[in-house]
Amino acid sequence: MISKEHRNKVQYYIDIARKEGAIVTTCELKLSDKNQNGYYITPTIITNIDQNSVCMKDEIFGPVVCIVPFDSQEEVIEKANDTEYGLSATVWSASVDRIHNVAHRLKVGTVWCNCWLIRNLNMPFGGMKMSGTGREGTDDSREFYTQKKTVCLKINSK
């Protein structure tokens, strides 16, 4: 993690999941000697977690994934949209029709389909809801950082 505070924030969510009775699985990695004093968080998988957990509702921004089973496309869309955040999502399917249907209905700024974190810098990037305002990326960056003003002036002609 970038700082002690960031590490502590991510660890806070992992601790909450444990207290709520979720199953927390970490990868046991041996750190090199030069990394022993950093702010490392082991990649973590959280299962058996309630949909209403803060871990499911907040943006953790760490190497943590919460996995929740679902029975239908409708259910997974409802669960994915059941948060006040909406930065990005991924959709994995062999069906292009399903990908388009689900991606269109997710309330997020970017949907990666059958991939993750592939981004051309000319593409708009940004979230929906509480995950930021506006977009960045080429023309969108210029518009985001520009405040337009219109000035109307009537000139009396003689």
Domain boundary among 10, 36, 67: 67
Same-domain status, 140 and 88: yes
Domain boundary among 67, 95, 111: 67
How far is it, in rounded angstroms, from Cα 64 to Cα 25?
10
- CA angle centred on 9, ends 33 and 49, rounded to 5°: 105
Same-domain status, 75 and 118: yes
Q: What is the pTM of this model?
A: 0.77
Contact between 87 and 80 under an 8 Å Cβ cutoff? The reply is no
The H or E element spanning position 24 is strand 23-26
When comparing pLDDT for 105 and 150, which is higher?
Answer: 105
Parent domain of 36: 1-67
Question: Span 65-86, mean pLDDT?
Answer: 94
Same-domain status, 81 and 22: no
Query: What CATH number did the domain enclosing 111 receive?
Result: 3.40.309.10
Note the pLDDT tens digit of each residue in 51-61: 999 999 999 99
Same-domain status, 112 and 128: yes
Residue 126 neighbours by CB under 8 Å, 6+ apart = 109, 132, 133, 134, 135, 136, 140
